[in-house]
Structure formats: structure tokens, C-alpha cells
Amino acid sequence: MSEMEKITIENIVASTSLAEHLDLSRIALALEGSEYEPEQFPGLIYRLKDPKTAVLIFRSGKVNCTGAKNLENVKKTIDIIIDKLKKAKIEVYDNPDIIVQNIVAVYDLESDLNLTDIAMSLGLENVEYEPEQFPGLVYRVEEPKVVLLLFGSGKVVCTGAKEESEIEQAVIKVKKELQKVGLI
């Protein structure tokens, strides 16, 4: 069952709430290097170097964290933000619930793929393969509900999952489907 070991998580998107309301202009001054241009985007953008993540802070108190490769770094990022805001005398919650919204991961089928054949056997209605527009084949899996991008090299990108187990399920699923039709 350890396909898990061959799955590399590349990015985690998570959200949480730090307060009922936040004064982004004040935070912009408190967080050095942050970007806040409400005309362009309602959220304040702040990038951390360690862990290498990016945070979007909204006036509703909602916060998004992107770029982390594991849950610890998501937590670490949020804790750093909480710490910096507290030091700037801005009141925020202490241990907010963090919700993982999306996980992007890569897996390797270790076998070259004929994407045209795969498109036809998986069914043209379930798959999108337009090499003129993008080299990957887009496969929308219903259960678990994720999207897989299959490449000629055998590399697979999985996105849309909220739990690591969904990535493993999806990867095992395509692998079996491709084996069944002899395309792997």
C-alpha cells in the first residue's frame, strides 16, 4: 500500500480565520515587504522565506496559506503570522482551525505513456488531450474527486485533493485502469 512513499507533495493550500475583522493597512505597515493594493486585489500578500510560503490576508480576518509542502509548515507559517501580528499589537486568535483546501502532488508511473491511446481508451468524454495547447492529458477522476495530469514521461500531477489518501487512491486507480487496457 506504500504508493504513498512515491508521492511527492509539492504544494498545500490551506485557509483559516485569525479574527472577525482586520485592518489591512495597519498590517501592511507591521509586515515588512508585504504587498497591499486593494485596487488590484482585496487581499494583503505576504511572503515568508522560511518556510517558503505565501500568505493572503483579508479584511474579514480570513487567511490563506500557499506553497507549503507539508502540514507542519502550514502550521508554522500561520504561527509566524500570528506572532508577528501580536507583536504589532494586533489582536488575533490563538489556535485557529486550519483547513486544507487543496494538495498538489507528483507521482511517477515509471513508464512512458502513449497519450493518444490513453485518451481513446479512457473515453474522449472523460479526458482532455490537446497537445497543441498543453502537453499533458487532463483526466478528471470522479471518485476521489481530483484531477490528474498525465504526461508522456509517465509523470502524473494530482491536484484538487484535500487529503493525502485521496491522492493515493487516485493514483492507484489510474494505474489499474491503464494496466487493464495494457497501456502501461
Partner 1 sequence: RLRKWQKRIKVSNAAERNLSQALQELERMASNLSIPNDVRETSAVIYRKAVKQNMIRGRSIEGVVAGSIYAACRITNVPRTLDEIASVTRVKKKEIGRTYRIMARYLKLNILPSKPDDYVNRFCSKLRLSMEARKRAEEILKMAIDNDLTSGKGPTGVAAAAIYIASLITGERRTQRAIAEVAGVTEVTIRNRYKELTEKLNLTIEE
40 interacts with, out of DNA, partner 1, none, CB within 5 to 8 A per kind = DNA
Cα 110 from Cα 124, distance rounded (Å): 24
- Binding of residue 140 to DNA (CB under 7 A): yes
- Binding of residue 167 to DNA (CB under 7 A): no
Q: Identify which of 107, 49, 103 has the alpha carbon closest to the alpha carbon of residue 71.
A: 103
Closer residue to partner 1, CB minimum distance, 38 or 131: 131
- The residue within the footprint of DNA, chosen from 149, 169, 173, 183 (CB under 7 A), is 149
Q: How many CB atoms neighbour CB 37 within 10 A?
A: 11
| Cβ(64)–Cβ(44) below 8 Å | no
- Binders in 92-121 for partner 1, by CB under 8 A: 112-116, 119-120
Closer residue to partner 1, CB minimum distance, 29 or 124: 124
Kindly list the residues in this chain that would bind partner 1 in the complex (CB under 8 A). Answer: 112-116, 119-120, 124-125, 128-133, 135-136, 151-152
